[in-house]
Structure 1
Amino acid sequence: MPARRMTRFWADRRLALKGLVVIALPLAILLGALVSLYIASNAEVRAENDVRRAFAIQRDTYQVHALLAEAAAGVRGYALTGQERFLEPYRKAEASLPPTMVRLDQAIRDREVRERFNRINELTARKREGLKSIVDLARNGNRAAIEPALVSNKIVLDAMRQEIELIQRREGVLLDQRRARVDEVRGRFLLLTAISAVVGLLGSLAAVYLFSTGIVRRVQILEANAELLARGEELAEMPDDADEIGRLAQRMARASALLRGREQALRESEERFRLVIEEVQDYGIFALDPQGVVTSWNLGAQRIKGWEAEEILGHHFSRFYPEETRGHLPAQMLERARRDGTAEDEGWRLRKDGSPFWANVVITALHDEHGALRGFAKVTRDMTERRRSEEALRFAREEAIAANLAKSEFLSRTSHELRTPMSAILGFGQLLELDEDQFEPRHREALSQIMKAGRHLLSLINDLLDISSIEAGGAELNLEQIDLGELLQEVHGLAAPIVATAGLKFVLEQPAEPLVAWADRRRVVQVMLNLVSNAAKYNRTGSQVRLTCSSKGRDIRVEVEDDGTGVASSEVSRLFTPFDRLGQQSRAKVDGTGLGLALSKRLVESMGGQIGYEAPEQGARFWFTLPSRARSSSARSKAGKQRA
């Protein structure tokens, strides 16, 4: 009975009271849920901001280290070479570090990270001061102080790296905590969203059920407005009521205005994009349908190809290709774009007037949201000037090669032409030497000068012939397996008189084990004699010349070392330059052709080895390497037969 009386009492109440009771309660719950959602949303935003700030701190700390590392490498390159281009990373670091440090200072909230950031700030200042001082030292030419400065700066960079790793570790912990907080807030957010949705649905159902007879017309208007909103059209006017339906209508009207504003902005953005594409003049940008027919045309395409838009729209893009490629290349390009997404090609294309130009072409396939092919975007760039430059460079290179070959041919022919009369001069000179005792002293001295000059000139001619023969690819090499220990002993015997004449001791250090090289025996002897002769001629302050060889991995290394004054560091790069006889202006004249080292370099390289110079604590050390082969009995037998 009490339940029936309660139901009756409720049924007899006015609609306004029912609305107040039935709608107010769910609305109050809904408002509370919305407030909770707002709070949860703000909490999620704050948590996400914390996560983004952690990422930003990690990125900026890495950037600080990267900028300083690149600046240090650039400064080191500048200190070693003196070239200004190496200072570009240093200048970039000087420009980028201050704002990066300011961002870090503003972003860091954690106390531990703040303490490490302060240490990084101090190390950064020290690093920048050290790099500046190295640049100043390099510009002032104070190279002795550069190496300690570089070492000190590296220590600072290592310390900074450790601090940054600690910050990254700490920020990683904080990032995990903040992500967990974001997930927690998002979970609450989803729960509140579900509760709000349920409460809102129940309230709406109750309102519709209780007020259906009084609000059907307005609901029908709202339904019609919803359809208009979906189509993006202007909504019908609603009564200016203050109840829930009125507020809903107002919100819908605002949503409609916002949607139309966004659509307008989108249309304007698309229009701006279209204008940008159409106004680009350095690139021909146009669209093709799936069959390759031109559907759009920008000013760049018009400038490059010569066709107006109305002249080319609706025509197949194969019109741009020369006759010899028109039948197959356009179809192949479209097929590659369909298969791979993009297709790129360089080749000759035609302008409207028929003139060719060299083009770089990229065709990109365009698909809709379902993956269906909608057409292609084609970008064309005129590369004719670059092509001409490449052709000119190729012609210049070919001409340089031809000139070098002509030079080698000239040297070879000239040397051959000089060799014949020179041999005759030396032959007659040797005949005169047979009767030298019958000559007066002044005639004997003249004959000696003739023979000395003739032999010197013949040596020069032979060296020129060797160099020109190697450069022309005509040097004959008899490659065989040779025992370096025996060969060093032979060279020691041949060069001992030369070294003794210079008043020096000739030291031979035999290898501890047999060493076999794959080389031309006569050429190796020639290289060794050149190096030993140079050491004897230029060692005016020392006491000895040392000859030795050893195994270095898969190669054998031969060294000729003296304890004289050595070679100035500024002249090392010119050691193997033909006719460049270093130091003649500061020391007594030394006989020579100026071709010995250059010839030795070419001979060693033609046998597959390398040659170089090192500066020991005192004197000079020249070395060269020869490829080695495993020594076996059959190889020794074969090598012996070749030598025989």
Structure 2
Amino acid sequence: MSRLRAWLRPATAWADLGLAAKGLVVVALPLAILLGGIGALHLSSRAEAEAERAVRLTFAIQRDIHEVHALLAEAASGVRGYRLTGQEAFLEPYTKAEALLPLTLARLRASVRDPEIRARLTRVDALVIQKRQGLAQLAAMPGAGSQDSLTTREVAEALVANKRVLDGLRAEIEAMQRREGQLLDARRARADSERSRTLGLTAAMAVIGLLASLAAVQLLFSGIVRRVRTLERDAERLERGEPLTTRDHAQDEIGRLARRLVEAGELLRRREAELRDGEERYRRVIEGVRDYGIFALDTEGHVTSWNVGAERIKGWNASEVIGHHFSIFYPPESRRETPSRLLAAAAADGRVEDEGWRVRRDGSRFWANVVITAVRDEAGELQGFSKVTRDITDRKRAEEALKAARNEAERASMAKSEFLSRMSHELRTPLTAILGFNQLLDMDRELLGPDQGHAVEQIARAGGHLLGMIDEVLDIARIEAGGHTMNPEPVRVDELAREAIALTTPQAQAAGIEIRFQPGEARAWADRRATLQVLLNLLSNAVKYNRRDGRVVVEVRSEPSRTVIDVRDQGPGVAADFVDRLFTPFDRLDADRWSGAQGSGLGLALSRGLARAMNGDVLYRAAEQGAGSVFSLVLPTRPVAEAAPSRSETAE
């Protein structure tokens, strides 16, 4: 068992090794062997080249030794010929030998490595010198070319001495050549051996490289290819929906991919099961919907599914309608055009909504709201349509009834406005006469008694109040009828506020009320007269409904795209129950409490109407600290085309 574990450890380590490391090993193994073989071949080639160079050097040494012998022999022959004939042409070999012998001997000294040959070469150098000296002496002796040029005693002795030196040189040279012949045979044998070793090493490297390549291929197959094929088979099983089992436990990329594939297969099966459950639940939900007709159409508009709601609304059951074109649900007058137009719009835009009359199985009509949605696959190809139908006949009838009621209310409002306008004009005529006669009486006040003078004052006060109420009624009628003319322009709000404060000051002083102004650099786009009228109404109310010795604060402030004028009083404020009725015409809130204050209940309604006609508003909020109320006039800073209307904004 221990041996088995020891054998499995390397295999497991190899399987756990990453693909990059495996690829490196597979590539590096034959590459390392190749590089080793190249190195060995290089070394062997170098040894073979060295051996061949030694052989060539031996040939060169032998050639130079032979050349030394030949030069000396030719030089000696030439000197003898010169002695016999006396012709200097025979001295050319001697002259040539004198020039070449030093160079040849120098090459020999540089080339010879063998100790024995070097020793003999030393002796040859000495003999060559003697030979050259002897030849030089012989050539220089007189009598060259005479009959006794070779028979004189000095010449004979010189010839004998030169012959003796030449014989010694010949013996040394022959010994050197024999030694070089031995060295040549040894060096040839070494070169042949190196050549044979190179061939053998080349063959061995080829065999080792082939085996290494086979080993690398085996490693690649066992480590990658075989397992990749397993993954491919697992992918095919996954495609067929078959379960996968984990068989590859290696920790490399392929092992992790195999485990991920198994996990993906399990996740896919779970999601398929969830999808089937969801589709079943969806089918049950659709089948259970009774208030909506939900069904599917093919690309041509034929019904492919049908739910209970569709059967309840339209009257057809599934077997009667599936396969038929959905145009059967439309009235005859729209059956040819509307269905195709709705399908084309849904295909182009993805969704279309429509309302109109539809037909039930029994021929009765109902008003339906329908939504048709295009159904496309992942590639964007149209697969059909889904259609949701809702019966909104009751809502249609309610809308028609509401529209009729609204039209009736508008007619009543117009009649009311017409009545108020005519009544105001009818009242203004006799009231003007009354006020005129009252002015005549007032001109003769010195003729009247105290009671009569007081009655004249009461008539003037009551007439003025009634005339102001008539004007307010006319303004309300014009605003509601949309006939109130506005001339908006850029206005300085602080100037209008100061003007309104100046006009209200006598009323405030009579009531013991202090008015404080907090100006601000602000402009508004508004009608000057209407803005002043609104400010006067707000200031008059702030004085009228304030406490004795109270204070009114007017503050101008700028906000984004609007200007706000706050009018703050120190009165008891507005009860929470009355806030919703503040701007209702003719509704005087808490009239019993403020019975001494004159008013028609139109001021705030008229003020809001004028403000909204200028694309502004009048807002109310309770004072932040203590009792009191804050009414805010909100006006735009730019024309209505540039500024958003403010009437929908609420008080802070």
The aligned residue for residue 397 of structure 1 is 406
Displacement, 1:450? 2.0
Supply the distance in 1 between the matched residues of 2:300 and 2:638 (Cα, whole angstroms).
Answer: 64
The aligned residue for residue 474 of structure 1 is 483
Match of 1:347 among 356, 359, 377: 356
Contact in 1 for aligned 2:424/2:473 (Cα 8 Å): yes
1:286 to 1:573, Cα distance in 2 relative to 1, 3 A? closer
Instruction: Flag structure 1 segments of 5+ consecutive residues without an equivalent.
Output: 1-24, 34-193, 203-229, 233-265, 631-644
Supply the distance in 1 between the matched residues of 2:590 and 2:309 (Cα, whole angstroms).
Answer: 62
2:564 partner amino acid? R
Displacement, 1:455? 1.4
The RMSD of aligned alpha carbons is: 4.6
Match of 2:367 among 331, 335, 358: 358
The aligned residue for residue 333 of structure 1 is 342
Contact in 1 for aligned 2:563/2:635 (Cα 8 Å): yes
Could you state the TM-score of these two structures normalised by the residue count of structure 1? 0.50
- Partner of 1:353, secondary structure, is coil
Q: Equivalent residues in 2 for 1:65-214 (5 A)?
A: none
The aligned residue for residue 625 of structure 2 is 617
The aligned residue for residue 505 of structure 2 is 496
Q: Deviations over 1:558-605 (max 9, x none)?
A: 343444444445544433332233344335611222222221222222
Supply the distance in 1 between the matched residues of 2:379 and 2:494 (Cα, whole angstroms).
Answer: 78
Within the alignment, does 1:579 sit opposite 2:586 as a pair?
yes
Contact in 2 for aligned 1:542/1:565 (Cα 8 Å): no
Contact in 2 for aligned 1:542/1:564 (Cα 8 Å): no
Match of 2:564 among 532, 557, 575: 557
Supply the distance in 2 between the matched residues of 1:328 and 1:411 (Cα, whole angstroms).
Answer: 52
1:501 partner amino acid? A
The aligned residue for residue 392 of structure 2 is 383
The aligned residue for residue 609 of structure 2 is 602
Match of 2:549 among 542, 551, 575: 542
- Partner of 1:558, secondary structure, is strand
Contact in 2 for aligned 1:542/1:563 (Cα 8 Å): no
Displacement, 1:363? 4.2
The aligned residue for residue 442 of structure 2 is 433
Could you state the TM-score of these two structures normalised by the residue count of structure 2? 0.50
Supply the distance in 2 between the matched residues of 1:557 and 1:596 (Cα, whole angstroms).
Answer: 19
1:542 to 1:501, Cα distance in 2 relative to 1, 3 A? closer
The aligned residue for residue 487 of structure 1 is 496
1:407 partner amino acid? K
Q: Deviations over 1:59-88 (max 9, x none)?
A: xxxxxxxxxxxxxxxxxxxxxxxxxxxxxx
The aligned residue for residue 537 of structure 2 is 530
Displacement, 1:420? 1.3
Supply the distance in 1 between the matched residues of 2:280 and 2:451 (Cα, whole angstroms).
Answer: 103
Displacement, 1:423? 1.2
Within the alignment, does 1:411 sit opposite 2:420 as a pair?
yes
The aligned residue for residue 528 of structure 2 is 521
2:337 partner amino acid? H
Supply the distance in 2 between the matched residues of 1:405 and 1:483 (Cα, whole angstroms).
Answer: 36
Supply the distance in 1 between the matched residues of 2:630 and 2:476 (Cα, whole angstroms).
Answer: 23
1:485 to 1:340, Cα distance in 2 relative to 1, 3 A? closer
2:565 partner amino acid? V
1:577 to 1:542, Cα distance in 2 relative to 1, 3 A? farther
The aligned residue for residue 321 of structure 1 is 330
The share of aligned pairs that are identical, in percent, is 53
More deviation, 497-506/598-607: 497-506
Supply the distance in 1 between the matched residues of 2:383 and 2:391 (Cα, whole angstroms).
Answer: 27
Contact in 1 for aligned 2:303/2:323 (Cα 8 Å): yes
Supply the distance in 1 between the matched residues of 2:377 and 2:516 (Cα, whole angstroms).
Answer: 83
2:416 partner amino acid? K
- Partner of 1:345, secondary structure, is strand
The aligned residue for residue 129 of structure 1 is none
Contact in 1 for aligned 2:296/2:304 (Cα 8 Å): yes
Displacement, 1:624? 1.5
1:346 to 1:425, Cα distance in 2 relative to 1, 3 A? same
Supply the distance in 1 between the matched residues of 2:567 and 2:376 (Cα, whole angstroms).
Answer: 71
Supply the distance in 1 between the matched residues of 2:320 and 2:463 (Cα, whole angstroms).
Answer: 82
Supply the distance in 2 between the matched residues of 1:353 and 1:387 (Cα, whole angstroms).
Answer: 21
Contact in 2 for aligned 1:409/1:472 (Cα 8 Å): no
- Partner of 1:578, secondary structure, is coil
The aligned residue for residue 59 of structure 1 is none
- Partner of 2:597, secondary structure, is coil
2:356 partner amino acid? G
Displacement, 1:271? 9.8
Q: How many residues align?
A: 387
Contact in 1 for aligned 2:343/2:372 (Cα 8 Å): yes
Supply the distance in 2 between the matched residues of 1:445 and 1:419 (Cα, whole angstroms).
Answer: 24
Contact in 1 for aligned 2:494/2:520 (Cα 8 Å): no
Match of 1:461 among 454, 470, 474: 470
1:391 to 1:498, Cα distance in 2 relative to 1, 3 A? same
1:569 to 1:376, Cα distance in 2 relative to 1, 3 A? closer
Displacement, 1:468? 1.2
1:429 partner amino acid? N
- Partner of 1:454, secondary structure, is helix
- Partner of 2:354, secondary structure, is strand
1:371 to 1:532, Cα distance in 2 relative to 1, 3 A? closer
Instruction: Flag structure 2 segments of 5+ consecutive residues without an equivalent.
Output: 13-221, 231-239, 243-274, 640-652
1:428 partner amino acid? F
Match of 2:430 among 421, 438, 462: 421
- Partner of 2:355, secondary structure, is strand
Q: Deviations over 1:134-165 (max 9, x none)?
A: xxxxxxxxxxxxxxxxxxxxxxxxxxxxxxxx
Contact in 1 for aligned 2:520/2:556 (Cα 8 Å): no
- Partner of 1:446, secondary structure, is helix
Contact in 1 for aligned 2:514/2:550 (Cα 8 Å): yes
1:342 to 1:627, Cα distance in 2 relative to 1, 3 A? closer
Contact in 2 for aligned 1:491/1:525 (Cα 8 Å): yes
1:479 to 1:301, Cα distance in 2 relative to 1, 3 A? closer
Within the alignment, does 1:442 sit opposite 2:444 as a pair?
no
1:323 to 1:561, Cα distance in 2 relative to 1, 3 A? same
Displacement, 1:295? 5.0
Supply the distance in 2 between the matched residues of 1:373 and 1:626 (Cα, whole angstroms).
Answer: 54
Contact in 1 for aligned 2:544/2:597 (Cα 8 Å): yes
Supply the distance in 2 between the matched residues of 1:275 and 1:574 (Cα, whole angstroms).
Answer: 52
- Partner of 2:512, secondary structure, is coil
Displacement, 1:457? 1.2
Supply the distance in 1 between the matched residues of 2:535 and 2:454 (Cα, whole angstroms).
Answer: 32
Displacement, 1:344? 4.2
Displacement, 1:339? 4.9
Contact in 1 for aligned 2:512/2:548 (Cα 8 Å): no
The aligned residue for residue 184 of structure 2 is none
1:331 to 1:589, Cα distance in 2 relative to 1, 3 A? same
Supply the distance in 1 between the matched residues of 2:566 and 2:500 (Cα, whole angstroms).
Answer: 13
Displacement, 1:538? 2.4
1:606 partner amino acid? A
